[in-house]
Amino acid sequence: EAGVAQSPRYKIIEKRQSVAFWCNPISGHATLYWYQQILGQGPKLLIQFQNNGVVDDSQLPKDRFSAERLKGVDSTLKIQPAKLEDSAVYLCASSLIQGRNTEAFFGQGTRLTVV
């Protein structure tokens, strides 16, 4: 079974520039998550999709971050404009079903450096 795919693996941009990350979840997985992991911290949930609908985006800085999941499959996360504090690893994860004790499968992550 292919895992969660993310691209790019690394990205360096200047502050105030924009950037986009792409995620392809495991086939058939209805739930998709984007997490932000700042160095030394645990992953923080930014947004959670169920199929192509958003079920939680309470921690997404909506003035600069946006995400979409077209046709309930692939997803993109965009930052515009980027700030220095956005430097982090952005993790995408997916799970087969929504509900109790569902295992989330993670991608390798995209390491973003804002200079």
Is 14:114 a contact under the CB 8 Å cutoff? yes
Minimal distance, residue 113 CB to other proteins, in Å: 18
Minimal distance, residue 23 CB to other proteins, in Å: 13
Say which DSSP state 108 is in: -
The kind and range of the H/E element at 56 are strand 53-56
Contact string (CB under 8 A) for other proteins, positions 1-40, x = contact: --xx--------------------------x-x-x----x
The one among 91, 94, 112, 114 contacting other proteins by CB under 8 A: 91
